[in-house]
Structure 1
Amino acid sequence: MAEPEKSRTTYHHGALRTELVDASVRLVESDGVGAVSLRRVAREAGVSPAAPYHHFANRAALLSAISAQGFHELAEDLAAVARTGDGPGEVAALVRCYVDFARRRPGHFQVMWRPELSEPAKHPVVHESGESALMQLTSVIDGLEVPDPHGLALALWAIGHGLASLMLDGQLAHTAEKWDTTADDLVERCLRVVSRMAH
């Protein structure tokens, strides 16, 4: 027997917002970002089609909430690594942290970099939380004696993002199979290169 559909009275006001965000992330992970609409999310959360509008003006606002949540968690993860104070090893650990975050939160990761969320004026919370995450990387690099810290920060960001994207898309596993190794091994080999870059 199927479980009865939840009504919106099941949730307290704050809990409904959280459930809508969680339902959206589940949709992204199963069907991609294109599947997210307020109507579909309402159905997934078991509430009326009008209920999401009490918390989100439109789809962009919902995606913005997911993105900000993801950046906030990523910033916390990176900050924990940055406190180790291990120089070049710390830089490689930050890149690993970025990849691990994408693996652990694939739905958030797919939403965080959406181009429609990149305008600070329209999505200030996303901009602020994204800047906080980037600051963790640059703060570590600023403590190293490298000739171009901004260039290194960009290179590390690109490497971390590239590895994470390749992993989520299955391309890293495909390459690992051809090279008779594992995706994790390829990540570790790349991180050893990153560590040498930071010296």
Structure 2
Amino acid sequence: MPAETRATYHHGALREELISASVSLIEAEGIGAVSLRRVAREAGVSPGAPYHHFADRAALFAAVIVRGSALLESELRQARAQATSGVEALGAFVRTYVRFAREHPGYVHLMLRPELSHPDRHPDAAHAGEGSIDLLTAAVVDCQREGTAPPGDPMPAVGLVWALAVGIVTLWLDGPLQERCVDVGTTPEVLTAQITALLTGLMSGSAGRA
């Protein structure tokens, strides 16, 4: 980026550019490639420029987690709004999270490593995923009301669905799921659809057994 272009950044625009550069670096080279100096070079600004917005790498990571979590929450909220039942919402949540991870791996790689943002010093990052969990919890409560989830504390069911989604994402992003699907003649997309269909089918069937 030419030197004169740096002057065109409006207030806050450089901060957003640095976050975007970090996400791109993670996707291309992994989390270890990210440093304030390297991100400054990618954004075409001086090595000291990022320090006007981020005290250190952990602060930059916290900002990436906050932005990624907000994007994910928005997509989950839309998925729940389109669902006609609690069970349908849970299946949509899993599919949405997996799709989000495939489309935005830079965010998700870091969102799965929250300790790198030093959450004790960056509470905004520590609480960034709470909105998504609240949406998932509300969907489980809907299932309880519909009779497709056990009554009482919703958190075991919340943990089950969240662990399922994170498990698929982790296996896919790290490679084993892709390789295994090739071995058995399927794709991660098809397997994800089959898993969510199994989840929703089992939960829907529980209503008839209640």
Both structures adopt the same fold (TM-score exceeding 0.5): yes
- Helix, strand or coil for the counterpart of 1:13? coil
Counterpart in 2 of 1:173?
178
Deviations 1:83-118 (A, max 9, x none): 233221221111101101111110000111224257
CA contact (8 A) 1:91 1:198 kept: no
Counterpart in 1 of 2:80?
82
Distance (whole Å) between structure 1 residues aligned to residue 61 and residue 118 of structure 2: 13
Distance (whole Å) between structure 1 residues aligned to residue 112 and residue 178 of structure 2: 22
Counterpart in 2 of 1:150?
155
CA contact (8 A) 1:66 1:108 kept: yes
Distance (whole Å) between structure 1 residues aligned to residue 99 and residue 4 of structure 2: 34
CA contact (8 A) 1:75 1:129 kept: no
| TM-aligned CA deviation for residue 152 of structure 1 | 1.2
Distance (whole Å) between structure 1 residues aligned to residue 158 and residue 203 of structure 2: 10
| TM-aligned CA deviation for residue 4 of structure 1 | 4.0
Distance (whole Å) between structure 2 residues aligned to residue 75 and residue 103 of structure 1: 16
Distance (whole Å) between structure 2 residues aligned to residue 136 and residue 198 of structure 1: 18
| 2:51 is the alignment partner of 1:53 | yes
Distance (whole Å) between structure 2 residues aligned to residue 97 and residue 124 of structure 1: 26
Counterpart in 1 of 2:15?
17
Counterpart in 2 of 1:141?
140
Distance (whole Å) between structure 1 residues aligned to residue 135 and residue 116 of structure 2: 21
Alignment gaps of 5+ in structure 1: none
| TM-aligned CA deviation for residue 7 of structure 1 | 5.2
Aligned in 2, Cα 1:66/1:6: closer, same or farther, shift over 3 Å?
farther
Alignment gaps of 5+ in structure 2: 205-210
Counterpart in 1 of 2:92?
93
Residue type matched to 1:58 in 2?
D
| 2:189 is the alignment partner of 1:184 | yes
User: Identity rate of aligned residues, in percent?
Assistant: 44
Choose which of 157, 169, 173 in structure 2 pairs with 1:164: 169
TM-score normalised by structure 1 residue count: 0.91
Counterpart in 1 of 2:111?
112
| TM-aligned CA deviation for residue 123 of structure 1 | 1.9
Residue type matched to 1:195 in 2?
T
Residue type matched to 2:196 in 1?
L
CA contact (8 A) 1:71 1:129 kept: yes
Deviations 1:30-88 (A, max 9, x none): 11011110000001111000000000011000000000001111111111111233221
